[in-house]
Chain A
């Protein structure tokens, strides 16, 4: 056995880990090799010195300290305390928490706003839509196929309308307070002619869609109710009270605005449009505005004809260069005196 191999197993020899054969071979080599004997002696001395080192003992209060630490809060609680209470780390963590909280609040608020907008958009639900549709059915009756629906509503048109968002073009009609004198000749020809009772009966028995008259309630009614319509025979036909406070429009003296409104409705129908909403002033009970939807191709002719009715002001420009499918207009009525002082909104 060579010295290199001997030195590798000297450590095991010291610990008595060699087998009989290896130990015999090693001892034979050591008897002849002084270098390996010195190596063995130095290693053995080192091992003895290490084994003789005095052990370092634990401090006297070792057990007491363990008891103290065991009595302390758990690691989680200490970690929580360390992270959130101790000053050096408190600020960045609190900042992070504040930022996270702000982000959360912002997200929730934004989400809620979006949801609210969605709800507002989807408020054009079939039921409410039906009410609106019923309102303008008096001037734009639904096709036959749609009449099977109690509300006379086409589901396709509902879907289409609920998904379309259009800008509303604001228009103002200046009406002379003196009555028909404020209307142009064309407007006079367009104004609704009071229907006789015979005509009403004919219309009711006829297969053509019934014409619904617009009535308005007493001024004390809420604004929402004011926008509602009830069926009626005609603008001049005697109206039976429905028991809900609605009155026949003949009970209230007609004003220039009232006259022009029926002309406006005809104008909308002529231009293949729909009246979507009619609003009354909650205080005076006067017609305040009409919202209508006009096909994009008919928008320009509609404006021209509207200008014949009364002095027209277009507050917002035409929707866009590209002709939209439909244009939604909001026509407000002002007396000439109000118009001269400028619109109040």
Chain B
């Protein structure tokens, strides 16, 4: 599956315009518009949060918290950026705060490293058409290995890698969301890829 295809599935075409219309409708008093915004962005946002936090239950709680924040602060949205950019900015900040929180750090210490998800949530979400159970198991193991290594990367590199290679954001979007300068965005993406490749190949 190509990145473009994946992005196309999760982010509908002309979604920015549609988002703006929904936001305006919500601000006009239409509560259903908010539900539509949630349904439009929930999977993409959930996936991002899950890559940041590495725990399914935590990610679920955090993603809900993000949409609740959106609901309560949408009146402050000034239409200076796209709704998705604004939503991602809230997401990144919320995840950063949660990663810094003592409760999360404590949990991360107690959860075994080989099972960072702490639940079977991910296994149930993977859809593999392969009829071979061994192939399915191998793929599952590979995904878990990648998650584990990604979670072991430095926070800044992990953020750059997830935003670029998992979420498929452009360099400019990453710069807008993170506030990094363009050179930093490039270097962090490059280092994260090399670091991840080396760790997966057992070079480190």
**B15 in contact (CB, < 8 A):** no
A53 touches B143 (CB 8 A): yes
Is the pair A11, B166 in contact by a Cβ cutoff of 8 Å?
no
Residues on A with C-beta less than 8 A from B164 are 15
Please measure, in the bound complex, the distance between the C-alpha atom of A12 and the C-alpha atom of B44, giving whole angstroms.
25
A contact residues around B125 at 8 Å (CB): 54, 56-57
Which of A29-83 touch B at CB < 8 Å?
Answer: 42-43, 46-47, 49-59, 62-63, 65-66, 69-70
Q: In the complex, what residues of B have CB within 8 A of residue A66's CB?
A: 38, 64, 67-68, 71
Would you give the 0/1 interface string for B116-160, flagging 1 where the beta carbon is closer than 8 Å to chain A?
000001100111000000000000000100100000000000000
Beta-carbon contacts under 8 Å, A230-273 to B = none
- A15:B171 contact, CB within 8 angstroms: yes
CB nearest to A49 among chain B residues: B146
B197 in complex: contacting residue of A9, A17, A43, A63, CB < 8 Å: A43
Q: Does B21 contact A (CB under 8 A)?
A: no
Q: Is B46 touching A50 in the complex (CB atoms < 8 A)?
A: no
A279 at the interface (CB under 8 A from B): no
Chain A positions within 8 Å of B35 at CB level: 63
Q: Is the CB of A51 within 8 A of B3?
A: yes
- Contacting residue for A56 out of B38, B121, B196, CB 8 A: B121
Interchain CB contact (< 8 A) of A70 among B60, B68, B122, B168: B68
Chain B contacts for A8, CB-based, 8 A = 190
A164–B71 Cα gap in the complex (Å)? 70
Q: Is B74 in the interface zone, CB < 8 Å from A?
A: no
Give the total of A residues in contact with B, Cβ under 8 Å: 29
Shortest beta-carbon distance from A297 to chain B in Å: 76
Give the chain A neighbours of B1 by CB distance below 8 A.
51-52
Mark interface residues in B160-187 (1 if CB within 8 Å of A CB, else 0): 0100111010010000000000000010
A43: nearest chain-B partner, CB-CB: B193
Once the chains are docked, how many angstroms separate the CA of A198 from the CA of B35?
111
Across the two chains, which residue of chain A brings its CB closest to B139? A54
B43, A55: Cβ atoms closer than 8 Å: yes
Docked-complex contact A62 and B46, CB < 8 angstroms: yes
Asked whether A51 lies within 8 Å of B2 as measured between CB atoms, the reply is: yes
Closest to B117 in A: A56
Given A8-B190, A17-B171, are A51 and B165 neighbors across the interface (CB < 8 Å)?
Answer: yes
In angstroms, Cα B6 to Cα A303, docked, is: 112
Considering the complex, give the chain B residue whose CB is closest to the CB of A59.
B60
Cα distance, A49 to B143, chains bound together (Å) = 10
> Nearest A residue to B189 by beta-carbon distance?
A11
B95 within 8 Å of A (CB atoms): no
B42 sits at the interface (CB 8 A)? yes
* Interchain CA distance A312-B53 in the complex, whole Å: 94
Contacts of B47 in A (CB 8 A): 55-57
Whether B68 contacts A62 by the Cβ 8 Å rule is: no
Q: Output the nearest chain A residue to B2 by Cβ-Cβ distance.
A: A51
Q: Is the CB of A51 within 8 A of B168?
A: yes
Please indicate the chain B residues that have their CB under 8 angstroms from the CB of A7 in the complex. 194
Contact residues in B for A53 (Cβ distance below 8 Å): 143, 146, 166
A306 at the binding interface (Cβ < 8 Å): no
Q: Closest residue of chain B to A11, judged by CB?
A: B190
From B63, B143, B189, A62 is in contact (CB under 8 Å) with B63
| Residue in A9, A15, A52 with the greatest tally of chain B CB atoms within 10 Å | A15
Given contacts A17-B171, A56-B125, contact A62 B50 (CB under 8 A): no
Whether A278 is near chain B, meaning CB under 8 Å from some CB there, is no
Q: CB-CB < 8 A to A15: which residues of B?
A: 164, 171, 189
For the complex, is B39 an interface residue (Cβ under 8 Å from A)?
Answer: yes
Say whether B200 faces chain A, with CB atoms less than 8 Å apart: yes
Residues in B37-65 with C-beta less than 8 Å from chain A: 38-39, 42-47, 50, 56, 59-60, 63-64
B87 within 8 A of A: no
Proximity bits, A127-160, B CB within 8 Å = 1, else 0 = 0000000000000000000000000000000000
Q: Does A309 contact B (CB under 8 A)?
A: no
Contacts of A12 in B (CB 8 A): 186, 190
Task: Report the minimum CB–CB distance from A205 to chain B (whole Å).
Answer: 93
- Given A50-B165, A59-B60, list of 13 further CB < 8 A pairs? A46-B193, A47-B193, A49-B146, A51-B165, A53-B146, A53-B166, A55-B6, A56-B46, A57-B46, A57-B125, A58-B63, A62-B64, A66-B38
The 3 closest A-B pairs by CB, nearest first: A11-B190, A58-B46, A55-B47
Q: List 11 A-B contacts (CB under 8 A).
A: A11-B189, A50-B146, A50-B166, A53-B143, A56-B56, A56-B122, A65-B60, A66-B38, A66-B68, A66-B71, A69-B64
